[in-house]
């Protein structure tokens, strides 16, 4: 991937750098049923924090990872430090930083864990050095963290983590990152069952071919979904969010999936599906009260199952992406 070159940014005077900065980037739901590898939305209230402190060297050092003992602390292996190094290489200016990363949700949950860390690193470092890049330009850098974590520089998680709202990414260039409208009073209910499900395994299970009839129907649903956002049509939004391609295969890897989907829809969920490659699932609700009802109903399904779960409710709205918090 070609990363954006820096333009018009002073590189000699580092005395104006902030002493320390803390950035936050949210968890995300990728694919969103109808947009495999191109759609994502931000869960703006849960995510990762990263604190960056210039250390007077040309090296980046990970001092601590809070709530992430299983994550690598080597600068060339951790997604957050790799993102920062890519930005330094693009500038040809190596202002080393000490890094403290605080994980706000579980790695391997299917809620964009590596993406949140990568997005927070890109947003925070950009702010630290005077904001030479637009937020859309940061997407390509954050995607390099995904390459380290997952093997490919996909943007369907990092784009909504940086920008917030609902994002359609038809490519990696800033002009390819499209911000879609968001329906009012929209909430996402997510449930993470603590089962191990690797992204590579989730991809391996997918079929390599697709019938023309299924392809045509899925494209129609994707188009209807986009129209529903612009038309503010909740019924069309609900009808369009069907995954005919990925869900039939990946749902087999998620315990109680069919029961959860039926229960969510019976409790007036607008849609239900798999978050990213799983194992987390999501339900969309109109209004917080309905979201609470759906969450409680989903939790009951796992009451007598020997699998621990975590559930969350997050509003979906524009402008709830990465931000500076300190």
Q: What is the pLDDT of residues 96-110, one digit of tens each?
A: 999 999 999 998 899
According to DSSP, the β-strands at 166-169 and 177-180 are antiparallel
Domain ranges of the chain: 21-180, 186-316
What band does 14 get if pLDDT is binned at 50, 70 and 90? very low
Any idea which residue has 């002009």 for tokens?
A: 175
Span 31-42, pLDDT tens digits? 999 999 999 999
How does residue 7 score in pLDDT terms, banded at 50, 70 and 90?
A: very low
Look up the CATH number of domain 21-180. 3.30.230.10
- Beta strand segments in 78-153, E: 97-102
CA 112 to each of CA 92, 156, 280: distance values in angstroms, whole numbers, following the listed order: 29, 9, 10
The pLDDT score that the predictor gives to residue 69 is 86
**Which pLDDT value is given to residue 202?**
66
Task: Please report, for residues 137, 140, 144, 153, 162, the alpha-carbon distance to residue 2 in angstroms, rounded to integers and kept in the order given.
Answer: 11, 8, 11, 11, 19
Query: Of 135, 146, 190, 247, which one is the catalytic site residue?
Result: 146
Write down the catalytic residue from 22, 93, 127, 199: 199
Supply angle C-alpha 281, 177, 172, rounded to 5.
95
Cα-based distances in Å from 6 to 11, 25, 108, 130, 232: 10, 23, 33, 12, 38
Examine the residue annotation and report whether 199 is marked as an active-site residue of this protein: yes
More confident of the two residues 5 and 156: 156
What digits encode the pLDDT tens for the residues 133-166?
999 999 999 999 999 988 888 899 999 999 999 9
Into which CATH architecture does domain 186-316 fall? Answer: 2-Layer Sandwich (3.30)
Q: Report the C-alpha gap between 270 and 241 in whole angstroms.
A: 8
13 burial type by CB count under 10 A (0-12 exposed, 13-18 middle, 19+ buried): exposed
CA-to-CA distance for 161 and 46, rounded, in angstroms? Answer: 11
Q: Do domains 21-180 and 186-316 have the same CATH topology?
A: no
Q: What is the pLDDT of residue 307?
A: 95
**146 annotated active-site:** yes
5 pLDDT more than 80: no
Six-digit token string for 215: 């392809």
Q: Which of 127, 116, 113 is nearest to 324 (CA)?
A: 127
């Amino acid at each position: 991937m070609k990363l954006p070159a820096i333009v018009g940014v002073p590189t000699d005077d580092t005395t104006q750098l902030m002493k320390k900065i803390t950035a936050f980037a949210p968890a995300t739901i990728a694919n969103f049923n109808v947009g495999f590898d191109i759609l994502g939305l931000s869960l703006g209230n849960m995510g990762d924090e990263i604190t960056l402190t210039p250390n007077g060297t040309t090296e980046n050092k990970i001092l601590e990872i809070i709530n992430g003992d299983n994550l690598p602390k080597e600068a060339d292996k951790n997604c957050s430090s790799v993102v920062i190094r890519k930005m330094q290489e693009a500038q040809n200016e190596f202002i080393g930083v000490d890094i403290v990363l605080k994980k706000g949700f579980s790695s391997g949950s299917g809620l964009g864990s590596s993406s949140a860390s990568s997005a927070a690193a890109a947003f925070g470092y950009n702010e630290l050095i005077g904001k030479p890049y637009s937020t859309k330009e940061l997407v390509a850098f954050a995607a390099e963290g995904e390459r380290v974590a997952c093997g490919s520089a996909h943007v369907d998680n990092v784009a909504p983590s940086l920008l917030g709202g609902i994002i359609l990414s038809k490519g990696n260039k800033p002009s390819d990152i499209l911000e879609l409208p968001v329906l009012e009073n929209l909430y996402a209910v997510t449930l993470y069952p603590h089962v191990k499900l690797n992204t590579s395994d989730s991809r391996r299970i997918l079929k390599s071919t697709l019938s023309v009839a299924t392809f045509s129907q899925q494209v129609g649903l994707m188009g209807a979904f986009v129209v529903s956002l612009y038309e503010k049509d909740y019924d069309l939004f609900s009808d369009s969010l069907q995954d005919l391609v990925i869900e039939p295969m990946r749902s087999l890897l998620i315990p109680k999936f069919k029961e959860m989907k039926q229960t969510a829809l019976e409790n007036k969920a607008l849609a239900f599906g798999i978050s990213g490659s799983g194992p987390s699932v999501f339900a969309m609700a109109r209004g917080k009260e309905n979201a609470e009802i759906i969450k409680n109903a989903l939790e009951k399904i796992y009451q007598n199952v020997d699998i621990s779960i975590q559930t969350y409710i997050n509003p979906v709205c524009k402008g709830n992406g990465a931000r500076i918090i300190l």
